[in-house]
Chains A and B, each alone.
Chain A
């Protein structure tokens, strides 16, 4: 039996060696994929940190609030403020047109009299509070208060802008305006209570500090590579479903499968041969991706993958992920009768598994129902195991549940394939 398995492995490697298209899918495409995606994600990350986004400002206020907005936006390192296009001041109409055409991603329209009305409103509120506290001058007669309408800062977004970017910008502007309002309230109180009497500390009392996980007293700061390489390596590993299922379908259509059925060899031997071959391929894929991420990424300006102390456990996760993908490929190839069935179904199902598994959108950001479904995706188990190893630095014991699920998935899919084949076998 061992010899038959060995010969099956040799045969599979010979078939792969002669299949240039298959080799490209298996080895080159995953590398192109991981480099491209990491470059894009890294540059997106840089777009928000390093390079600035141009933002149109229509200043109808000309007051202190607008000035503060200008200053804060410039200081934020996120935006470059543009107030003129072709040496002409930007009006709301021009801003709207430019943003909707996609020439700018965002325009902010600051309404007229925002500064004066904000100050007036704050004055009214502070006066009311101070008078309620009995701190006003008894000789002062109360003036009738004028009604100040709420002010609206208008935001125009390029329709092509993604929701996540939109939300981030809106929350950042909202925070900025709140700070201006707070500052204004403090200043008015200070004025009302008499200069020099009370000195308000206007610096934020509560601040944030991100605590970075450390290993051996070294901070392990997650970056786009640490997130992308495991995710897209998994994606590539699961893409093995396509060549593997095609390989099985071809055997059926070529007639070699019929010959094997008449030979004194069980289908289990054939499947073990394929499992060994494709597991080796998975591991080669994995090590190639890791090598690229460790050695090539720094030379193209990407952060290097930090695998210090993780490689062994990462290899275990990659191997079990490979088993899950192989099981799925064997099942698909056994059930499908043509390549036209297996190839598109394989590709689409891998994309669905990746989407559901959290390769693109993190599971925590998914709707409740999708979060439950995500937990049933082998890609999710594998991704979580990779993140556990690479980003959370867990011990081997802690990834046992995830790799056990991956192995179980392999056993179940392969058993179904064997059972299906046996039902179709004659004697």
Chain B
């Protein structure tokens, strides 16, 4: 029994690629593989022409990762967290400082820059979590449920910021449970279930080609069924 089986994907530069699927479909496993966190038992993948098996360290320099959990040090301030994670990408000095200030400002967090992250709301933590993954201007950005558990304002701020990043040339690969958000945000979508890709196209094409579908949610239900997916 494999989490993923016979998955083949081509994601083009500049796309906002949504990986959608019910719980346990294999979304996080797939994104973890693409980020180098989980080793595939077979198969291969490459990013920007770099093969992961042999050029992992080069790939890590051009990708950014925003994990589902708040991957931050709670007792450090937002600025301290970002300086640390930015420095791990080789950023330093005034360049690092300016990038941190710019990103914090764009996401409405500059006045909280010197507050400890543990005092932040969920939405604020999500925004800092996002900044920590994009400080080095990655070519490809992986986001695992970047808007889960946040209020509408934070969600809007995050999505708007991601759109700006994409316009500036960052390819985005993201997973989400918010189908309406994905329909509006993604340029390409793959629906994944039981470790396999069920469909892959633009949101509008997926809606058009699915019988009686008015939106992405109808497509999703049509492809994955209505059965509950609880599993332990």
Which positions in A face B, CB cutoff 8 Å? 3-4, 7-8, 10-11, 14-15, 18-19, 254-256, 258-265, 426-427
Q: What are 9 contact pairs spanning A and B, CB under 8 A?
A: A3-B90, A3-B92, A4-B88, A255-B67, A255-B72, A263-B88, A263-B89, A264-B60, A264-B61
Closest 10 CB pairs of A and B: A255-B71, A255-B69, A259-B71, A18-B75, A7-B87, A264-B60, A262-B65, A426-B39, A427-B36, A263-B88
Query: Is residue B52 contacting chain A, with contact meaning CB distance below 8 A?
Result: yes
B84 close to chain A: CB less than 8 A = yes
CA distance A264 to B76 in the complex (A): 22
Number of A-B contacts (CB under 8 A): 82
Q: Return chain B residues, CB-CB under 8 Å to A3.
A: 87, 90, 92
Tell me how far the C-beta of B120 lies from the nearest C-beta in chain A, rounded to whole angstroms.
Answer: 14
With a cutoff of 8 Å between Cβ atoms, the chain B residues found around residue A265 in the complex are 88
Given known A-B contacts A3-B92, A426-B32, A262 and B37 have beta carbons under 8 A apart: yes
Q: Please determine whether B60 and A426 come into contact, CB atoms closer than 8 angstroms.
A: no
Q: Is the CB of B76 within 8 A of A427?
A: no
For B132, the chain A residues whose CB sits under 8 A away are 259
A11 to B83, CA, bound (A): 9
Determine if B37 and A7 form an interchain contact, defined as CB atoms under 8 angstroms apart.
no
Known: A256-B72, A259-B85, A262-B36; 18 extra A-B contacts, CB below 8 A, are: A7-B84, A10-B84, A11-B80, A14-B75, A15-B73, A254-B72, A255-B69, A258-B37, A258-B71, A259-B132, A260-B88, A262-B60, A262-B65, A264-B60, A426-B33, A427-B39, A427-B53, A427-B56
Q: C-beta contact mask, B113-137 vs A, less than 8 Å → 1, else 0?
A: 0001000000000000000110000
Q: Which of B52, B67, B75, B89 contacts A258 (CB 8 A)?
A: B67
Which listed residue, A4, A18, A261, A262, touches B116 by the CB 8 Å rule? A18
Contacts of B150 in A (CB 8 A): none
A126 CB to closest chain B CB (Å) equals 85
The CA of A15 and the CA of B76, in the complex, are separated in Å by 7
B91 → A minimal CB distance (Å):
10
Interface string of B153-190 (1 = CB under 8 A from A): 00000000000000000000000000000000000000
Assess whether B63 is interfacial by the CB under 8 Å rule.
Answer: yes
Closest to B116 in A: A18
Q: Which residue of A lies closest to B33 (CB)?
A: A426
Bound together, the chains give a CA A19 to CA B116 distance in angstroms of 13
Please indicate the chain A residues that have their CB under 8 angstroms from the CB of B67 in the complex. Answer: 255, 258-259, 262
Interchain CB contact under 8 A, A7 and B39 = no
Given A256-B73, A426-B38, CB of A264 within 8 Å of CB of B65: no
Residue of A7, A8, A15, A259 touching B65 (CB-CB under 8 A): A259
Main secondary structure of the interface of A (DSSP, over half): helix
CA distance A256 to B74 in the complex (A): 10
Complex Cα distance, B32 from A261, in Å, reads: 11
- B57 partner residues in chain A, CB cutoff 8 A: 264
> Is B112's beta carbon under 8 Å from chain A?
no
A2 vs B39: C-alpha distance in the bound complex, in angstroms?
Answer: 29
Inter-chain contacts of B33 with A (CB < 8 A): 426
Complex: how many Å from CA A19 to CA B57? Answer: 33
> In the bound complex, how far is the Cα of B75 from the Cα of A262, in angstroms?
22
In the complex, A3 Cα to B86 Cα: how many Å? Answer: 12
Docked Cα-Cα span, A10 to B85, in Å, equals: 12
Partner of A427, one of B52, B69, B72: B52
A241–chain B nearest beta-carbon distance, Å: 21
Residues in A whose Cβ lies below 8 Å from that of B87: 3-4, 7
For the complex formed, measure the closest distance between the CB of B3 and the CB atoms of chain A, giving whole angstroms: 13
Which residues of chain A have C-beta atoms less than 8 A from B37's C-beta?
258, 261-262, 426
Chain B 130-149 near chain A by CB (<8 Å), digits 1 or 0: 00110000000000000000
Taken together as a complex, chains A and B put the C-alpha atoms of A261 and B71 apart, in Å, by 11
Contact call A264/B89, Cβ cutoff below 8 A:
yes
Chain A contacts for B32, CB-based, 8 A:
426
Interface residue ranges of B25-81 to A (CB < 8 Å): 32-33, 35-39, 52-53, 56-57, 60-61, 63, 65, 67, 69-76, 80
Query: With a CB–CB cut-off of 8 A, which chain A residues contact B76?
Result: 11, 14-15, 18
Residues of A near B71 (CB, < 8 A) are 254-256, 258-259
Chain A's nearest CB lies how many Å from the CB of B163?
Answer: 23
CA distance A262 to B73 in the complex (A): 16
Name the distance in Å between A133's Cβ and chain B's nearest Cβ: 91
Q: Please indicate the chain B residues that have their CB under 8 angstroms from the CB of A262 in the complex.
A: 35-37, 60, 63, 65, 67
Q: Which residue of B lies closest to A263 (CB)?
A: B88
Interface centre among B71, B73, B88 (most CB of A within 10 A): B88
Kindly state the separation between the CA atoms of A254 and B71 in the bound complex, as whole angstroms. Answer: 6
User: How far does the alpha carbon of A256 sit from the alpha carbon of B36 in the complex, in Å?
Assistant: 15
Rounded to whole angstroms, the CA-CA distance of A427 and B57 in the bound complex is: 9
Give the docked Cα–Cα distance between A260 and B67 (Å).
11
Of A8, A254, A261, A262, chain B has the most CB atoms within 10 Å of the CB of A262
- A3 and B88 CA atoms in complex are apart in Å by 9
Residues of B within 8 A of A258 (CB): 37, 67, 69, 71
Evaluate contact between A19 and B63: CB separation under 8 angstroms.
Answer: no
Cβ-closest chain A residue relative to B36: A427
> What separation, in Å, do the CA atoms of A223 and B39 have in the docked complex?
59
- Give B22 Cβ to nearest chain A Cβ, in Å: 23
How many Å from the CB of A279 to the closest CB on chain B? 20
B53 nearest CB neighbor, chain A only? A427
Task: Write out the residue numbers on chain A whose beta carbons fall within 8 Å of the beta carbon of B36.
Answer: 261-262, 426-427
Contact: B75 with A263, CB < 8 Å? no
Report Cα–Cα, A3/B32, bound state, in Å.
28
Flag if A14 contacts B35 (CB, 8 Å): no
What A residues does B73 contact at CB under 8 A?
A: 11, 15, 254, 256
- Which of chain B's residues has its CB closest to A7's CB? B87
Chain B min CB distance to A337 (Å) = 15
